[in-house]
Amino acid sequence: MEETKKVLLGMTLAELKALVAELGMPAFTAKQIAEWMYGKRVRRIEDMTNISKSNREKLEATYTIGCMDPIEHVKSKDGTVKYLFPTSNGKFVETVYIPDHKRATLCISCQVGCKMNCLFCHTGKQGFEGDLTTADILNQIYYFPASKDEENEKGALTNIVYMGQGEPFDNLDNVLRSTEILTADYGWAWSPKRITVSSCGLKKGMIRFLDESLCNLAISLHSPIPEQRAMLMPAEKAYSITDMIRDLERYDFSHQRRLSFEYTVFKGLNDSQMHVKEIIKLLKNLDCRVNLIRYHNIDKEDESFGLQTSDEKRMEAMRDYLSSHGVFTTIRTSRGEDIWAACGLLSTAKKRS
């Protein structure tokens, strides 16, 4: 991609309208560009064939679509595929494709590294290396076809989760622009219920997200005890889980939008009966679900963290108790652990430019 050229990918319809007006093109050209990019996913401006040649040449003089292919990928024994995408700032991010019968979920990143430094997360150990632009975020999705391609492993996506590298509410402007394009009629026209944004909880970002988006929200809980959560997640010190719950109680999650809580289960740390009862007490006024997640050791050669995953029977007992007391709970299937693609394992620290 030529550095001197501006990127079309990630532009909203309003921005495309301003662009074509500036270049002296007909107003309807903005919708044509959006259809070619977001509807047909063309990779070159010259392929926008219902735009006149002279107008395509005007676009090409200063703009490029801006899509970039992954530089490598690796496939897990369970079918999960991890991709390494370049970014506009010369870094890399990891993106995970998870096929599951009729579903195909893409786990995308929004930052290179992360500032949150959660104790159990490999991305946090990488440190923070920059926000992704809207184009960088959408580029991870742009690579995948709109319909099943039988000649390769890329299947049509059914769900998108912002659960890769980075904290979405720490890059909220670009995340919201990307979800707007994903759900707008001029963009991918996805239903918001197919998109989930996961956060450890940043107050201003969460409130703004709930007010400006209809996409699903997933909150990283990991402990119902504030002091223990702070040990696992430093973000707790700035915005406590109890304050967060009070804010969430002001919103309606009983219809299309879904609220869920992610709970990584650590043996002997947050898997006791006391923890289960505190979860029920904490979430009693919310229409939500809890996803129990197995811990994946972030460094096989360093046991200094002292964290281990809870055993299957204990997790099943937690699930059953929570569900029987009105908190619908599932155990998330671990995917891609052998290729470091499972929850908490994404990192590009060794691939810095």
| Catalytic positions | 94, 343
Torsion angle (degrees, nearest 10) of CA 163, 169, 171, 173: 120
Residue 95 bridge partners (DSSP)? 83
Q: Token pair of 102, please?
A: 């009729």
Give the closest residue to 216 by CA, choosing from 294, 265, 287: 287
Q: Token pair of 338, please?
A: 């052998």
Number of residues in the chain? 353
Q: Token pair of 12, please?
A: 């909203």
User: Could you give the CA distance from residue 287 to residue 207 in angstroms, rounded to a whole number?
Assistant: 17
Question: Helices 172-183 and 134-142, interaxial angle, to 10°?
Answer: 40
Q: Is 235 exposed, middle or buried (0-12, 13-18, 19+ CB in 10 A)?
A: buried
For the four alpha carbons of 315, 199, 188 and 289, in that order, the dihedral sign comes to positive
Q: What 3-state class would DSSP assign to 25? A: coil
Residue 93 bridge partners (DSSP)? 85
